Amino acid sequence: MRLEKKATVVSTSVATLLVVIKMSVGVLSGSVAVLASAIDSFLDLTVSLFNYFALHNAEKAPDDKFHFGRGKIEPLASVIEGVVISLSALFILYEALSKIVHNQKMTDMQDSIAVMIVSIVITTGLVLFLNYVAKKTNNMVIKADALHYKTDLYTNGAILLSLAIIHFTDIYIIDPILGIFIAFYMIYSAYPIIEEGVLMLLDVALDKEDIQKIENTIKQENEISTFHYLQTREAGSDIFISVHLVFKDSKISLYDAHNISDSIEDKIKKLFEDKKCQITIHMDPYDDSHSNHH
């Protein structure tokens, strides 16, 4: 099993445990903050299961139906995760405002504090593990998952602090006010996840720095006079690159041109060792970049 898939299994297991604990205490205590955290953990569970499905299908080899593979399932999963985070934030916002209007109080404070402490300890371990996997694999689904649980860690800490203040002061309005701040923070955190996924689904080009590296690699080849129609895009862990190379010798043999192209292709692949590069090189005996088609 790939490390990314193992990470989704771990996050799913942790989310399941947190849902059971938080939901039980949240319902008994009446705390909007704890209940919001329980709802978020339930959504974490749903998203983690979807991420496992996404990674399982994204790694399938190209076939007759999907000639370029299923790599775009990964950015699709990121978009869905971001939307789920945003929707859960809106629900938390509604619950918090409702509690302010109806002036509802909390009970079972000690149980609420205890469950948040346990939640922080467990979530901290999960975040450290997911960050390790994200850095090792550079997988955007795992990065989104790590960011999601990192926001959980911050909100859990804020909830614990608010519960402690309420316990000593009996100022219950702190709970729904914190819920409002948590909701806005979740929406703020979801935006970059959605943006990155949408841009990848729209075939956004690689970063300017990466494109510059590709161009420099091509320019270092002595037998190439120029190049054009350099196009790049990314789909999950796959990078797609296409380019037209113009050879100095217009009468170069196909064998030699092919060897030079293979050499350039290998050098480009070394630039992205943590990705799977799909490179298409068109070999031109002259510069046809002014033509209307390519």
CA angle centred on 174, ends 173 and 175, rounded to 5°: 90
Per-residue model confidence (pLDDT) at position 208: 93
Q: 271, 213 in Cβ contact below 8 A? A: yes
Shared-domain flag, residues 29 and 164:
yes
Shared-domain flag, residues 77 and 162:
yes
Shared-domain flag, residues 138 and 238:
no
Q: Among 201, 220, 245, give the residue marking a domain's end.
A: 201
Q: Among 185, 201, 217, give the residue marking a domain's end.
A: 201
Per-residue tens of pLDDT for the chain, all 294 residues: 677 778 878 888 887 888 887 777 766 666 666 777 777 777 777 777 777 777 677 667 778 888 777 778 878 878 887 888 788 788 878 878 887 887 766 666 777 788 888 888 988 998 899 888 888 877 777 877 787 788 778 778 877 888 888 878 878 788 788 778 878 888 887 888 889 889 888 888 999 999 999 999 999 999 999 999 999 998 877 899 999 999 998 889 999 999 999 999 999 999 998 788 999 999 988 887 776 555
Shared-domain flag, residues 233 and 160:
no
CA distance 271 to 253: 28
CA distance 253 to 246: 13
- 3-state SS string for 174-232: HHHHHHHHHHHHHHHHHHHHHHHHHHHHCCCCCCHHHHHHHHHHHHCCCCEEEEEEEEE
Q: Is residue 289 part of a domain?
A: no
What is the residue range of 73's domain?
A: 3-201
Shared-domain flag, residues 223 and 95:
no
